[in-house]
Amino acid sequence: MDEFEEIESKEVDLGTTEELGTEGKKGGNRPDFRIVQPSTDRDGKPVLKNVGAMWKSTSKSGKEFYVMKIGELRLLVFKNEPRE
């Protein structure tokens, strides 16, 4: 894969922990992961555009998960483990 140049850097607001029902990190903290989309600039040069981010969090029961935000979409990401 070719090297990419970042063309847009945008801070993503996660919201409050009350909105998510978690006891993890609050909005404004640096994300653990960035979500980027391959694209091209006006000259046809390949670039990576920031489209979202993921933050590590902990549920009230102590399980770790991630909160992923892409635009207005908020998703909870859990490790694929068998149920107990």
* Segment 22-73, tens digit of pLDDT: 444 445 689 999 999 999 999 999 999 999 999 999 989 888 999 999 999 9
pTM: 0.58
If phi > 0 it is left, if psi is from -120 to 50 it is alpha, else beta; for residue 8 that is: beta
- Is 46 within a domain? yes
pLDDT at 3 (0 to 100): 59
Q: Residue 70 belongs to what domain range?
A: 5-77
Give residue 46's Cα distance to chain centre. Answer: 22
> What gap in Å lies between CA 72 and CA 67, rounded to an integer?
13
Read off φ and ψ for residue 25, nearest 5 degrees.
-70, 150
- Is 82 within a domain? no
- Is 83 within a domain? no
Number of domains, the chain: 1
- Is 19 within a domain? yes
